[in-house]
């Protein structure tokens, strides 16, 4: 294995040429057969997300933003927060996917061109990965297209492998669907029931349904994979909740998938809190960042009426809205917008001002939402409970954020982020009522 970069969050394995399909020599380890000295180590369980760049359906689908987060980010967050993997990897052939994987804290295996063809299978890519990672004993192959995966699912499966001795475990979902045989000319002229008696159709509550693979994950021990299997040996399924069983390969209607993720997705270890303060950077968020100067040297700015409505909706829901800028904006110009918000301009340290506002209102950081777009917003974005940036925000701000808008600054980004806040607050309220 060629290490391009060092460090848990940035190491890269880079196969050179076509990888061998045979098993490479095992490294000498203290974890088997009492080799060497030291305490026996548990088997190395690695999470592996396959994310090829050449998706034919949706270009670069694996990093397309779903509910403000790159698609692959949802499963990486769940895998890392589960705490059951000794390493979390993304196997890819694309630079942009590699950058997103590192941003979320995963390690990267640079897939060879041989394992990146349209005809290449998942098993090809997994075997290639193992050929360069002798330390790995068990692979948890997690599908990037399953954004509603939760850490608890992965924790239970790891226990099945490690404690109950299963060689392979895969995810399924229960469905209550009646199946019928396909009509084929010259072969079968009539359809036939496959899993029911039409004369005694069961009610849903009287039928257990059937189990279907949902593709969220496949865990298998090394020896099985090297024999060409992801399922085999002492084998078991893990039944996922139906609401967590979302597959973007199937749910091609992206907006519907986003609604499912916002309602049932995993948002991190810390529980969401109700937002009480919404802070927005003025230049590049409320406005598009353009400044016009009139003949008499007066400053002119523009904003989108959708964003003004967004501010109004936030205030009507009981959320305090405040505006901030490091630039010496004209307060007279801002007042003419009639947004009725407290604002602070010429701010050299935005974090200090927002912290003062937070303390003044008696809030914790988790009760604050922040929409920013510049390097000067980075610390605030990292600190608050909910953070967002417009689509055209700088790279540093995008890396620090939890939600990236589809809209640009001054073009509806504030309204979009406000809608995101409302959806998550509904999630908070629903969880409190359970």
Q: How far apart are CA 59 and CA 72, in angstroms?
A: 14
Distances in whole angstroms, Cα of residue 104 to Cα of each of 76, 263, 267, 335, 369: 7, 22, 13, 40, 21
Q: How far apart are CA 143 and CA 124, in angstroms?
A: 15
* Angle at which helices 71-82 and 151-162 cross, to 10°: 50
Which DSSP state fits 40?
A: P
Task: Yes or no: say if 316 and 358 are a contact pair by the CB < 8 Å rule.
Answer: no
Which of 18, 21, 201, 241 is labelled catalytic? 201
Task: Yes or no: say if 238 and 158 are a contact pair by the CB < 8 Å rule.
Answer: no
The kind and range of the H/E element at 353 are: helix 350-361
- CA atoms in the 13 A half-sphere facing the CB of 98: 15
Which DSSP state fits 413?
A: H
Residue 239 bridge partners (DSSP): 172
Q: How far apart are CA 207 and CA 337, in angstroms?
A: 61
Q: How far apart are CA 415 and CA 183, in angstroms?
A: 51
358 classed as catalytic: no
Residue 80 burial (10 A CB sphere; 0-12, 13-18, 19+): middle
The sign one gets for the Cα dihedral 155, 161, 162, 165 is positive
The kind and range of the H/E element at 130 are: helix 122-131
Catalytic residues: 201
């Amino acid at each position: 294995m060629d290490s391009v970069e060092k460090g848990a969050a940035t190491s890269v394995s880079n196969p050179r040429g076509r990888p061998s399909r045979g098993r490479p020599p095992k490294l000498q380890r203290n974890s088997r057969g009492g080799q060497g000295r030291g305490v026996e180590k548990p088997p190395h369980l690695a999470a592996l997300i396959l994310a090829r760049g050449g998706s034919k359906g949706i270009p670069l689908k694996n990093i397309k933003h779903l509910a403000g987060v790159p698609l692959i980010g949802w499963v990486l967050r769940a895998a890392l927060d589960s705490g059951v993997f000794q390493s979390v990897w993304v196997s890819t052939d694309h630079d942009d996917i590699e950058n997103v994987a590192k941003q979320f804290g995963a390690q990267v295996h640079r897939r060879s061109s041989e394992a990146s063809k349209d005809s290449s299978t998942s098993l090809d890519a997994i075997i290639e990965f193992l050929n360069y990672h002798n330390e790995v004993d068990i692979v948890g192959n997690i599908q990037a297209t399953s954004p509603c995966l939760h850490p608890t699912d992965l924790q239970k499966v790891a226990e099945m492998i490690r404690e109950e001795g299963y060689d392979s475990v895969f995810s399924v979902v229960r469905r209550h669907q009646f199946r019928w045989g396909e009509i084929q000319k010259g072969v079968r002229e009539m359809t036939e029931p496959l899993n029911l008696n039409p004369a005694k159709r069961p009610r849903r509550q009287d039928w257990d349904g059937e189990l279907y693979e949902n593709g969220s994950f496949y865990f298998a021990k090394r020896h099985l994979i090297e024999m060409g299997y992801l399922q085999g040996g002492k084998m078991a399924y893990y039944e996922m909740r139906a609401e967590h069983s979302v597959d973007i390969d199937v749910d091609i209607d992206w907006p519907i998938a986003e609604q499912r993720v916002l309602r049932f997705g995993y948002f991190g270890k810390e529980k969401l809190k109700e937002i009480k303060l919404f802070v927005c950077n003025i230049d590049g968020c409320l406005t598009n960042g353009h400044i016009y100067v009139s003949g008499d040297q007066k400053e002119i700015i523009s904003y989108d009426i959708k964003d003004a409505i967004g501010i109004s909706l936030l205030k009507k829901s009981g959320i305090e809205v405040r505006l901030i800028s490091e630039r010496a904006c004209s307060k007279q110009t801002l007042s003419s917008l009639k947004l009725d918000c407290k604002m602070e301009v010429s701010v050299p340290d935005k974090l200090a001002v927002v912290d003062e506002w937070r303390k003044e209102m008696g809030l914790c950081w988790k009760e604050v939402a922040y929409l920013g777009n510049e390097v000067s917003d980075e610390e605030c974005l990292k600190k608050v409970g909910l953070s967002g940036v417009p689509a055209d925000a700088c790279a540093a701000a995008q890396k620090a954020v939890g939600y990236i808008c589809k809209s640009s600054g001054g073009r509806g980004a504030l309204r979009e982020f406000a809608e995101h806040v409302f959806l998550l607050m509904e999630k908070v309220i629903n969880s409190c009522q359970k």
